[in-house]
């Protein structure tokens, strides 16, 4: 019964996230046992994160933009992309950014079996060597979640999602989605070809806006 109830609540969270680009505070606090939606801080700090890379057509452009603003970020990498583009992955690390695990094949936890999902996570971990984990699509079953926590993974979600991957929104809307940040918030972008146009426009806008307000951009450690 508890497992069914948890699934219903998580489904509700998914619906809220799809409706709102910022997950409400009360939702984040309700689920803060194990999930990290933000990293509370008294300092003016923002955590930029990028999913689905590394991609040589996009990731180096992100790194160049971050460097212009002396910003650091966290890249949740798909293991298969690390395998295909090792030099691009090494560039992320060499530039001083954090890396995290986004499974080997970008699997949706609710759509695959327990053993297959955990094996895919561990295969990616062999390449990225990180205990930071973000489930693709933000979807993970309670059993998968509990096992990953027991294995020492930190489950990093987000406070604000830019929806940069959506073809239904303009670059300006993507930027507006991203300008809802407070200190300690985690912003979700994608360093993918599909998201490139919206993401680069919004990323530059975020860096300019919050740098002018005295914020720093730090990697999740």
Distance in angstroms between the alpha carbons of the first and the last residue of the chain: 36
Is 94 assigned a catalytic role? no
The Cα 94–Cα 139 span in angstroms is: 30
Per-residue pLDDT tens digits for 10-47: 555 555 555 567 766 655 555 556 899 999 999 999 99
The Cα 177–Cα 181 span in angstroms is: 9
Peptide bond into 127 cis (omega under 30): no
Residue 31: is it exposed, middle or buried by C-beta count within 10 angstroms (0-12/13-18/19+)? middle
Torsion of CA 32, 153, 140, 10, to 10 degrees: -10
pLDDT greater at residue 203 or residue 8: 203
| Domain of 6, in residue numbers | 2-217
Is 87 assigned a catalytic role? no
| Position 1 confidence tier, pLDDT thresholds 50, 70, 90 | very low
pLDDT at 144: 97
Question: How many domains does the chain fold into?
Answer: 1
Question: What average pLDDT does range 64-72 have in this prediction?
Answer: 98
Out of 38, 97, 190, 191, the active site residue is 190
pLDDT at 84 over 80: yes
pLDDT greater at residue 25 or residue 111: 111
| Position 5 confidence tier, pLDDT thresholds 50, 70, 90 | very low
Out of 51, 52, 120, 191, the active site residue is 51
pLDDT at 22: 79
Token pair 């090494």 in the structure block, residue: 90
Per-residue pLDDT tens digits for 114-168: 999 999 999 999 999 999 999 999 999 999 999 999 999 999 999 999 999 999 9
Per-residue pLDDT tens digits for 161-216: 999 999 999 999 999 999 999 999 999 999 999 999 999 999 999 999 999 999 99
Domain with residue 119: its CATH number is 3.20.20.370
Residue closest to 220 by CA, chosen among 35, 25, 46: 46
pLDDT at 4: 45
């Amino acid at each position: 019964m508890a497992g069914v109830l948890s699934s219903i609540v998580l489904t509700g969270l998914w619906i809220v996230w799809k409706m709102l680009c910022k997950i409400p505070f009360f939702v984040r606090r309700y689920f803060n046992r194990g999930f990290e939606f933000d990293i509370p801080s008294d300092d003016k700090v923002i955590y930029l994160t990028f999913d689905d890379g590394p991609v040589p057509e996009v990731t180096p452009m992100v790194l160049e933009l971050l460097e212009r603003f002396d910003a650091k970020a966290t890249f949740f990498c798909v293991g298969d992309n690390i395998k295909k583009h090792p030099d691009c992955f090494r560039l992320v690390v060499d530039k001083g950014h954090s890396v995290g695990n986004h499974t080997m094949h970008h699997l949706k936890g609710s759509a695959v079996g327990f053993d297959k999902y955990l094996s895919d996570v561990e295969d990616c971990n062999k390449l990225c060597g990180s205990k930071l984990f973000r489930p693709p699509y933000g979807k993970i079953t309670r059993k998968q979640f509990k096992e990953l926590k027991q294995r020492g993974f930190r489950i990093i979600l987000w406070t604000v999602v830019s929806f940069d991957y959506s073809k239904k929104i303009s670059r300006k809307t993507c930027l507006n989605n991203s300008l809802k940040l407070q200190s300690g918030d985690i912003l979700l972008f994608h360093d993918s070809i599909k998201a490139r146009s919206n993401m680069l426009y919004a990323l530059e806008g975020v860096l300019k806006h919050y740098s002018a307000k005295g914020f720093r951009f730090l990697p999740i450690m």
